[in-house]
Amino acid sequence: MNLHASHRPGASTRTVASTVAFSLVGALLVTGVVTATSDVAAAADESLISSGDTTWRYLEDNTNPAGSDEDQRVWTTTGFDDSAWKSGTGAFGAKRGQATGIGDAFPITTLLTQYVESTTTDVPTFFFRTDVDVTAAELDAAAAFEGEIVYDDAAIVYVNGEEVARLGDEDREITQNLQYFGTSRSDPVTSTFVVPASALEAGENTISVALYQDAPTSSDIYLDVRSLVPTQGEVRDVTLGIGADETQATVAWFANLPGSGEVQWAPAQDVVGGTFPLDAQSAPSAADASVDGATYHHAAISGLEENSSYVYRVGSAATGWSEPATFDTGTFGDEYSFLFVGDIQIGASGSTSNDTASWVRNAGTIDERHPDAAFLVSAGDQVDSSGSTEQYAGLFSAASMRTLRFAPDVGNHDAGSMLYDQHYARPNATEGMRDYWYGYGDVLFVSLDSNQSSDAGIDEREAYLRGVIDERGDDYEWVVVSFHHSLYSQAFHSRDADVVRLRERLAPVFSELGVDVVLAGHDHIFTRSHLMDGTTPVVPETEPAIGDVLDPQDGQVLYVTGNSSTGSKYYDFDGAKPWTARWEQSREPSYSEVDVTPTSFTVTTYATATERVVDRVTVRHDGAAAPQLDVTASARCLAGRAYVAVRATNVGADAADVELSTPYGSRTFADVGPGTSAYQSFAVRATSVDAGTATATVTDDGASHPSEAGYASLTCP
């Protein structure tokens, strides 16, 4: 690139930023990014802005830089006179008026005057400007420029007087330059923003940033614009979502370049070497500008067939295509399984990279362990900072986000940014609301926005739920509601005013409407409630245990609260609660597998690393008296010999005699009770076994059918 620093005082000087560019491009490739050309790394070796080298002019004296000018953005234009402003290099910030205290990850080079003169009230807005020169050849070579920014509490980025990105809080309106704006946060947020090449001109350009405090008592302020590098166009943050029913999937993605996009899909056997057949199906996306200056896309895949594999990709020739991804549809009947996780919350530990690594590892383990799961329900707080594109990139780093349909609730840590809405294409969503519903098999799922916890907000949630169940409920055997704020948990949030209000208002509605199970998060501690009749626990005569089978009467609802699925944050036991049947806080990530049949709904919760069963509970509907077997099989090595093991868990209501069989032997167990298991390991007189099938059969009930599970081939060392 031909470099020309501006001759204006304080203009930035471009520096080599290959390390920054590599980290950005590398992170994007992890999340399924493909560029429109193959020369991104070469194009991204110089940065228009560089932290520590670029000089910014800044205003920090609690005055409006536009004064009474009719155009309040005049301060962001190239010709604006900022000669009286101070100048310095990033990072800029303050913590209670000092240059230290935010943390080692967020050093301060230039101390900002945090408080209004002679007060301890925070200056609401800080204003920054710098200039860069770009040649016509450079603009022709770059489709866009991607920046990395660290901010606290909120920031708006302008180029030559036009807003290109709004970061930190999109729910509140900006009405004047000097105002409090943003979401309170404990640490600065690392994010990205996109500047289309069309926003720049050949010659001198002005980059401006308005940095906001969220309130007069905010403890800190921070800004570091780390880089602004050329990009040739990238598709990132590809997310496969739940569809309106089992024959559909949704897909969402971000593109650095504006323009239309589409999703293409075809049966996996028809896609050879990544090349889609001529008759591949496609659907256009609904696209709009995202809050970080990119373009977000939502589209739907339809006409899916059960027990089939499909390959899809998203994007366009102009914006770039994603790498093809494959997903399996599984069964469309009334017997299937899905997965449930509590708070993923990338960044809650204080380390986005550590939480990302944990999520990638745990999501991979869960996906490998349950390859037939139909989809994944997440109880909200997918990220810790709602406006952090870095944390969203960590979330989407897990391969299963592109291969397993995802059904997210909105958590309190997600709610402060439109990035939540833009990253997920949710079915049957109502404009301006974050509630949605979908059906799968014989289950109606309703996701509610529990952040709306005022009386008016709860009225709106109740009306929405009543409408969906009144219109759709008769079409399904089961009704499951999911949302973020657990009504019945063992941690301290159960005492919060918003949770108490939600519990008192919504729990009776769930009982009235015939909701069967409620799945929630927020409290980072596993909790299974007693059956709840509104707000009244139905306490059993026997001590609750792993494997309980529940026979709810009309109006009785089971509540399950997920623990952390990444280990990014845990909450401790908060004293005995009258609603709790079982709880555990072992400070290890966990998840649940949910098995659905026409007569039973079984939630089995596992410690992710060890597959230890934390809890198993079955809710039974009428007609579930016959024994029902949940069968697993595996092959393993012991002392150099191969063994085949089979386990059958009775998830029905009655005890039964159970026969376990493999090609290597069989054994019958008498009187296997509800919630208990029959287990047998069959010795194989060899060092290897071929892939095969194990069966479990109820031998004393002619109406019961054999159940089976496969095991993989194995060679022992």
* Sequence spans of domains, the chain: 15-231, 234-331, 333-620, 629-715
Q: Is the pLDDT of residue 703 over 50?
A: no
**pLDDT band per the 50, 70, 90 thresholds, residue 267:** very high
> Which is more confidently placed, 470 or 141?
470
Q: CA 499 to CA 505: how far, in whole Å?
A: 10
Quick: pLDDT tens for 59-77: 999 999 999 888 899 999 9
> Which is more confidently placed, 31 or 25?
31
Q: Residue written as tokens 């939630």?
A: 603
Average pLDDT over residues 193-206: 92
Output the six-digit token pair for 638. Answer: 């012991």
CB 699 within 8 A of CB 624: no
Give the bridge partners for 255, in sequence order. 235, 295
Mean pLDDT lowest among 50-59, 72-81, 527-536, 697-706: 697-706
Percentage of the chain beyond pLDDT 70 is 92
Among residues 407, 480, 413, the alpha carbon closest in space to that of 451 is found at: 413
Average pLDDT over residues 538-543: 94
Single pTM value for the model? 0.76
Quick: pLDDT tens for 411-450: 999 998 999 999 999 999 988 899 999 999 999 999 999 9
Q: CA 87 to CA 99: how far, in whole Å?
A: 17
Average pLDDT over residues 204-211: 97
Q: CA 411 to CA 618: how far, in whole Å?
A: 27
Among residues 501, 557, 560, the alpha carbon closest in space to that of 534 is found at: 557
User: Do the domains 333-620 and 15-231 match in fold?
Assistant: no
Q: Is the pLDDT of residue 43 over 70?
A: no
Question: Could you confirm whether domain 234-331 is CATH 3.30.70.360?
Answer: no
Output the six-digit token pair for 148. Answer: 């990395």
Average pLDDT over residues 500-523: 98
pLDDT on residue 295: 93
pLDDT on residue 705: 59
Q: Residue written as tokens 């000097």?
A: 178
> Which is more confidently placed, 47 or 586?
586
pLDDT on residue 626: 60
CB 519 within 8 A of CB 493: no
pLDDT on residue 309: 96
> Which is more confidently placed, 408 or 24?
408
Q: Is the pLDDT of residue 171 over 70?
A: no
Q: Is the pLDDT of residue 304 over 60?
A: yes
Average pLDDT over residues 262-271: 96
Average pLDDT over residues 544-565: 96
Q: Is the pLDDT of residue 35 over 50?
A: no
pLDDT on residue 15: 45
Chain centroid to CA 619:
28
Average pLDDT over residues 648-654: 78
**pLDDT band per the 50, 70, 90 thresholds, residue 24:** very low
Output the six-digit token pair for 457. Answer: 């907000």
Q: CA 537 to CA 534: how far, in whole Å?
A: 8
Amino acid at 127: F
Output the six-digit token pair for 104. Answer: 């080692």
DSSP state of 48: S
Q: Residue written as tokens 């029959």?
A: 678
**pLDDT band per the 50, 70, 90 thresholds, residue 312:** very high
Q: Residue written as tokens 């390991």?
A: 681
186: CB partners within 8 A, 6+ apart: none
Q: CA 584 to CA 615: how far, in whole Å?
A: 9
What CATH number labels 333-620? 3.60.21.10
Quick: pLDDT tens for 317-345: 888 899 999 999 999 989 999 999 999 99
Among residues 308, 312, 302, the alpha carbon closest in space to that of 332 is found at: 308
pLDDT on residue 585: 97
CB 110 within 8 A of CB 88: yes
Among residues 576, 606, 612, 569, the alpha carbon closest in space to that of 590 is found at: 606
pLDDT on residue 701: 59
As a whole number, the mean pLDDT across the chain is: 89
Quick: pLDDT tens for 361-419: 999 999 999 999 999 999 999 999 998 899 999 999 999 999 999 999 999 999 989 99
pLDDT on residue 8: 38
Percentage of the chain beyond pLDDT 90 is 70
Average pLDDT over residues 594-623: 93
pLDDT on residue 653: 67
What kind of fold does domain 15-231 have according to CATH?
A: Jelly Rolls (2.60.120)
Question: Could you confirm whether domain 629-715 is CATH 3.60.21.10?
Answer: no
H-helix or E-strand spanning residue 391: helix 389-395
**pLDDT band per the 50, 70, 90 thresholds, residue 170:** low
